[in-house]
Amino acid sequence: MFKGSITALVTPFRADGSVDEKAFQEFVAWQIAEGSHGVVPCGTTGESPTLSHEEHHRVVELCVEVAKGKVPVIAGTGSNSTEEAIALTRHAKEAGADAALLVAPYYNKPTQEGLYRHFEAIAKSVDIPIIVYNIPGRSVVNISVETFQRLAKLPNIVGVKDATADLARPLQMRVAVGETFCQLSGEDATATAFLAQGGVGCISVTSNVAPRLCAQMHDAWAKGDLKTCFALRDKLMALHDVMFVETNPVPAKYGVSLLGKCRPDVRLPLVELSEGSKAKVQAAMKAVGLI
């Protein structure tokens, strides 16, 4: 259903702090032209925690306008409030998104039963394919394989974005949940290893700045061209590292600004990239031939 290199899109801002709608739509169009296999508006990389509900809705709508019918749009609609997540997911469906990406509830620290009921409530409220986002580093809770076994029985919970950095997980999931459950990596640096363990793609930060290279790597894997795949894997490693030299999406947005696609501005409590980190991002992008 969803596979390959799927970009977790940055959200461009104007100098006055408002969403730059023109830059965003041009960026989505560029991602598609460069070969990205899907796009994710309003994820963590899109600074969803600091978007108002109105802005969140608008960004999803803008993305769908450009991408619908070309590549899948997987709208970020997660929240630590179940009712808010339901409302955002309903809007994503109404806007025409192909699926919703829902992060594990952060800060609340629900039990495994609480996690199950959270996603169950959303799945029963909105008829749209749902990808569950498991990222313990940000949400503090880790969704167990056993909980995924239960969730996978709900017809519209179709996959996982796995950012656990545990490469045993995709194989454990494949054995426990089944090979048709869509497993997408949330860790750029281990994306190819994740594919080897049963994954089908990656929701990527690095593809904000290198969409063509990321897409080519996944295309090579799909064709069984391991030589090309691994060469691209190695080439991209320096970029993966610098995309997380400071908190995501600050380095990615700075990298996109070097390509002339948007301003590097982020919203508080995030702050601009330090000068030392800027130099590292520039060096890596030059090494890969992006600038």
The pLDDT > 70 percentage for the chain reads 100
- Predicted pLDDT at 82: 98
Asked if the structure places residue 279 within a domain, the reply is no
Residue 108's alpha-carbon distances to 67, 79, 138, 166, in angstroms, are: 34, 11, 12, 23
CATH number of the domain where residue 67 is located? 3.20.20.70
Residue 106's alpha-carbon distances to 13, 90, 114, 136, 227, in angstroms, are: 25, 20, 12, 9, 40
pLDDT digits (tens, 9 = 90+) for 20-68: 999 999 999 999 999 999 999 999 999 999 999 999 999 999 999 999 9
Asked if the structure places residue 73 within a domain, the reply is yes
Asked if the structure places residue 230 within a domain, the reply is no
CA distance 171 to 198: 6
Asked if the structure places residue 83 within a domain, the reply is yes
Exposed/middle/buried for 176, CB within 10 Å: 0-12, 13-18, 19+?
middle
pLDDT band for 230, please (50, 70, 90 cuts).
very high
What's the whole-number average pLDDT of the chain?
A: 98
- Predicted pLDDT at 241: 97
Helices (runs of H) and strands (runs of E) counted in the chain = 12, 8
Asked if the structure places residue 100 within a domain, the reply is yes
Q: Is 9 left (phi over 0), alpha (psi -120 to 50) or beta?
A: beta
Asked if the structure places residue 284 within a domain, the reply is no
The yes-or-no verdict on residue 164 having pLDDT over 90 is yes
- Predicted pLDDT at 1: 79
Residue 114's alpha-carbon distances to 68, 109, 121, 143, 218, in angstroms, are: 34, 9, 10, 10, 35
Number of compact structural domains in the chain? 1
Q: Domain range spanning residue 27?
A: 4-225
Q: Tell me the average pLDDT across 153-171.
A: 97
Asked if the structure places residue 241 within a domain, the reply is no
pLDDT digits (tens, 9 = 90+) for 195-208: 999 999 999 999 99
pLDDT digits (tens, 9 = 90+) for 255-290: 999 999 999 999 999 999 999 999 999 999 999 999
Asked if the structure places residue 127 within a domain, the reply is yes
Q: What is the DSSP letter of 287?
A: H
Could you give the residue numbers annotated as active site?
133, 161
